[in-house]
């Protein structure tokens, strides 16, 4: 697996951005092959945009899970990047994180790396705030993604009666306007849009369980196909996200060149 740490100037944000890109490649598990040792690839890779949660950054998934091994085994590229605590929405002072995720980052990746430009090969997922961000992008632009993964997602922004309408945080920083997932999904259904496949998971001891269950019930009421894993004993923690990550990757609907070419487990 090639792990690339990159920095480029973002026109959506107005400053340099760090990201990590995992690219399947010739690796130690290939050393027993007697032929075909090459760095050449037969085609472009499917891509997973993997979003971090509140208080985390672009290295969190790489540090706290085995995403690099999982991606190598399943022959899928994975990109991680930082958005601070802005919820993957456009924020103040030109920090247009929604635009960055939806347009600029895919544009940069496809122009510079062997990444597929087919929506059928494009996936988005995240944990907590990142789960919200993944759903916001999947519902906001369903034509861009084949599937979405929401790990213990924060789904109640703006929809929940307890939503705080404050426009600044406790430090006085202007907060982005958050998308109402329910309203956006409702509009998608009214417009007859084809939704990405939906994967959700939640721990039974998670402090977001009530809003997660409400979201699940809404999907069922609207007859939106989805997978929802409810795991006993787990809280809002990396332990459940690490456990569910390979489940999500194996669940992904894939039609790319590498589908079914899973490597032996290392």
DSSP 122-172: EEEEEETHHHHHHHHHHHHSGGG-SEEEEES----TTTSTT----SB-TTS
Rounded Cα distance between 158 and 96, Å, is: 20
Question: Which segments in the chain show pLDDT lower than 50?
Answer: 159-175, 264-266
Rounded Cα distance between 102 and 106, Å, is: 7
Rounded Cα distance between 225 and 219, Å, is: 7
Which pLDDT score is estimated for 91? 82
Number of other CB atoms surrounding residue 55 within 10 Å? 10
Which pLDDT score is estimated for 171? 38
Rounded Cα distance between 172 and 83, Å, is: 18
Which pLDDT score is estimated for 39? 82
């Amino acid at each position: 697996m090639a792990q690339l740490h990159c920095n480029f100037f973002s026109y959506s944000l107005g400053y340099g951005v760090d990201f990590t890109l995992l690219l399947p490649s010739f690796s130690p598990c290939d050393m027993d092959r007697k032929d075909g040792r090459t760095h050449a690839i037969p085609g472009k890779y499917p891509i997973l945009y993997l979003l971090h949660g509140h208080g985390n950054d672009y290295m969190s998934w790489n540090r706290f899970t085995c995403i690099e091994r999982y991606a190598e085994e399943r022959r899928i590229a994975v990109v991680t990047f930082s958005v601070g605590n802005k919820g993957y929405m456009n924020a103040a002072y030109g920090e247009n994180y929604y635009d960055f995720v939806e347009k600029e980052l895919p544009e940069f990746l496809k122009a510079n790396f062997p990444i597929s430009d087919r929506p059928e090969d494009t996936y988005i997922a995240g944990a907590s705030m990142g789960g919200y961000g993944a759903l916001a992008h999947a519902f906001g632009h369903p034509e861009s993604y084949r599937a979405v993964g929401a790990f213990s997602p924060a789904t109640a922004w703006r929809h929940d009666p307890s939503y705080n309408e404050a426009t600044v945080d406790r430090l006085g920083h202007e907060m982005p306007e958050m998308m109402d997932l329910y309203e956006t999904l409702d509009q998608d259904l009214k417009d007859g849009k084809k939704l990405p496949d939906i994967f959700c998971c939640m721990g039974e001891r998670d402090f977001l369980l009530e809003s997660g269950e409400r979201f699940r019930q809404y999907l069922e009421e609207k007859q939106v196909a989805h997978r929802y894993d409810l795991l006993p004993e787990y809280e809002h923690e990396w332990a459940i996200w690490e456990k569910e990550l390979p489940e999500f990757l194996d669940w992904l609907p894939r039609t790319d060149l590498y589908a079914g070419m899973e490597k032996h487990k290392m």
